[in-house]
Amino acid sequence: MKRHGHKVYVETNAGNGSGFTDSDYKKAGATMLSTPKQIFDAADMIMKVKEPIKPEYNLIRQGQVVFTYFHFASSKDLTLAMMKNKCIAVAYETVQKEDGSLPLLIPMSEVAGRMAPQEGAKYLEKTMGGRGVLLGGVPGTEPAEVIVLGGGIVGTNAAKIAAGFGAKVTIMDNNLYRLRYLDDVMAKNVTTMMSNPFNIRQAIKKADLVIGAVLIAGAKAPKLITKEMLKLMKPGSVVVDVSVDQGGCIETCKPTTHEDPTYVVNDVVHYCVANMPGAVPFTSTIALTNATLPYAVELANNGWHAACRHNEELKLGLNIIEGEIVYKGVADAFGYTYTDVNEVM
Ligand SMILES: NC(=O)c1ccc[n+]([C@@H]2O[C@H](COP(=O)([O-])OP(=O)(O)OC[C@H]3O[C@@H](n4cnc5c(N)ncnc54)[C@H](O)[C@@H]3O)[C@@H](O)[C@H]2O)c1
């Protein structure tokens, strides 16, 4: 940003939790300000990670660009607040490429996917409530059986890491094209299988670790493992339901936090943290900013009007413009009026 001639303000101690100190930011040319109010007053554009919190609602002013995750459909309060303050809300989660992919969600899925076997391995340890199985086994023993439900970004990354540990991995997806691709690129200890109730039942009987990674865009995750099916799993086995943020694909999963990540149902350890990347903020920060920075530079260099006119991907990130909802999914979520983005640009 600095190199592009912009003045950058950073809130004091903002990077502490992620491992970046105030002096790191100063060395890079930023000006440190000690309160959020000072930042919101000084800046034309605000970049965050999570959605604005209540004390920030009224600090944001008309015409100010706010570029962050909003997930408006899950909060009416936030939607109303961002309409009221008349900001330009550009949401990371709806920036979209021509092929339909979501470039600012992918890094978080990569992080969560790669974390899933790591967490699973931890909770398979006896002292953590698991069966006491080592993911990769050792010579003369069976490796753990890992089932990955969903072979998208999370599932692919999870399978790769579980396979790297030496586990016996099965990825299940209901998209045959995806399974063909995965069969081509995965290691020898990864098998692909069509996702259907019969195959899932058979697979979970043998599983030590099940990773939930399905997504149906814009919908709640399908319950691929019901409460009744859970009884088929071995005592001490572990489920890591990454898709818990969309309701979870395992019926017995409910969102947990890093402070209290697991609970047990039918002797199966459930890990269902809704914000997994938060546990590895150093990696997550760099992964996310690698993806967001080029868009942020475009917004700052050209202003949101010109940047969004020129870049369709960024234009799809526009959710609310000076009080008008310009993203249909958000308007539909609350029955509010939807305005075509081209009418207000
Ligand atoms: N908990 C967290 O911290 C965290 C972090 C990042 C992402 N997520 C969530 O993880 C989930 C997966 O994200 P993603 O980026 O991998 O999505 P994705 O779209 O890349 O992959 C989803 C996959 O699920 C498959 N699928 C759909 N229905 C299926 C079914 N019935 N059986 C088997 N597979 C099926 C799709 O074919 C696709 O391959 C999402 O809910 C996402 O929000 C959670």
Using CA positions, which residue lies closest to atom 31 of ligand 1?
174
What gap in Å lies between CA 180 and CA 268, rounded to an integer? Answer: 31
Give me ligand 1 centre to Cα 79, in Å: 25
Q: Which atom of ligand 1 is nearest to the CA of 172?
A: 33
CA angle 294–298–300, rounded 5-degree value: 115
Q: Is the CB of 222 under 6 A from ligand 1?
A: yes
pLDDT at 224 over 80: yes
pLDDT at 148 over 80: yes
Q: Which atom of ligand 1 is nearest to the CA of 214?
A: 24
What gap in Å lies between CA 10 and CA 55, rounded to an integer? Answer: 18
**Of all residues in the chain, what percent carry a pLDDT higher than 70?**
100
Give me ligand 1 centre to Cα 334, in Å: 25
Q: Which of 109, 156, 276 to probe ligand 1 with, by most ligand atoms within 8 A of CB?
A: 109
133-156 mean pLDDT: 98
Give me ligand 1 centre to Cα 153, in Å: 7
**Of all residues in the chain, what percent carry a pLDDT higher than 90?**
95
What gap in Å lies between CA 210 and CA 162, rounded to an integer? Answer: 11
Q: Is the CB of 210 under 6 A from ligand 1?
A: no
DSSP assignment string, 305-318? HHHHHH-HHHHTTE
Q: At what angle do helices 106-123 and 281-310 cross, to 10 degrees?
A: 160
Q: Which of 50, 69, 215 to probe ligand 1 with, by most ligand atoms within 8 A of CB?
A: 215
Using CA positions, which residue lies closest to atom 24 of ligand 1?
214
pLDDT value, residue 218: 66
Q: Per-residue confidence at 99, pLDDT binned at 50, 70, 90? A: very high
Q: How far is CA 305 from each of CA 137, 301, 314, 320, 326, rounded to the nearest angstrom?
A: 56, 11, 10, 13, 14
74-98 mean pLDDT: 96
pLDDT at 5 over 90: yes
pLDDT value, residue 339: 97
Q: Is the CB of 182 under 6 A from ligand 1?
A: no
Q: Is the CB of 15 under 6 A from ligand 1?
A: no
Task: Indicate the pTM of the whole model.
Answer: 0.92
183-203 mean pLDDT: 98
Q: Which of 214, 225, 250, 257 to probe ligand 1 with, by most ligand atoms within 8 A of CB?
A: 214
Task: Supply the residues annotated as catalytic.
Answer: 71, 245
Give me ligand 1 centre to Cα 303, in Å: 34
Q: Per-residue confidence at 221, pLDDT binned at 50, 70, 90? A: confident
Q: Is the CB of 293 under 6 A from ligand 1?
A: no
Q: Is the CB of 245 under 6 A from ligand 1?
A: yes
Q: Per-residue confidence at 16, pLDDT binned at 50, 70, 90? A: very high
Q: 220 with 241: CB under 8 angstroms?
A: no
pLDDT value, residue 2: 85
SS3 194: strand
pLDDT value, residue 11: 96
